[in-house]
Amino acid sequence: MKTLERAMLAVLAVAAGGAAGAAVGGTAGSLDVTIQLASSPSVCLSRSLADRTGAVVQVACPSGQFVAIAPARGLVGAQGSTFRYALGGVDAGWIEGDQPLAQWGTVTALRVVDLDRQRLPVEMLVSF
């Protein structure tokens, strides 16, 4: 695995402008770096596109749990997994088109499911 590469490097050393008077020669060898990466059992990794309407959010945990994002009930016509909303004022309500609203945000529903069905799902409504 480890190939010993040898080369006389004296000329290179001189050309490099180093301590030419002291440099006699050189030799070189190579080594490999091996890495074993384990996912932390206490950390869930996700790759999300939560900033987009209709986003698919996937969160996987080594322990088996996953997070699913689904449309909330009662939001007729909504598509995807995140929903825009407005707060306060006479224009409060769901954004339609590019209608400007001063206070708005995004809401999404999360359901954390235990694949082993040992516990009931945990549901969260998150706004940001």
| Contact code string over 58-97 relative to other proteins, x by CB under 8 A | ----x-----------------------------------
Strands 58-60, 104-113: pairing kind: unpaired
Question: In the complex with other proteins, which residue's Cβ is closer, 29 or 74?
Answer: 29
- Residue 120 is a binding residue for other proteins (CB under 8 A): no
What is each CA distance from 76 to 25, 61, 71, 72, in whole angstroms?
Answer: 78, 32, 10, 9
H or E element, residue 14: helix 10-15
- Residue 30 is a binding residue for other proteins (CB under 8 A): yes
- Residue 38 is a binding residue for other proteins (CB under 8 A): yes
CB-CB contact of 31 with 2 (8 Å): yes
Q: How crowded is residue 50: how many other Cβ atoms within 10 Å of its Cβ?
A: 15
Q: With CB under 8 A as the contact rule, which of the stretches 6-14, 85-93, 96-104, 106-114 interacts with other proteins?
A: 6-14
Q: How far apart, in whole angstroms, are the C-alpha atoms of residue 30 and residue 2?
A: 6
Binders of other proteins in range 45-64 (CB under 8 A): 45, 62
Task: Return the structure tokens found at 89.
Answer: 């004022």
Counting residues that bind other proteins (by CB under 8 A) gives: 33
Angle at 120 between CA 119 and CA 121, to 5 degrees: 115
Q: How far is the CB of 99 from other proteins (least distance, A)?
A: 39
Q: What residue ranges bind other proteins (CB under 8 A)?
A: 1-2, 4-7, 9, 12-13, 16, 18, 22-40, 43, 45, 62
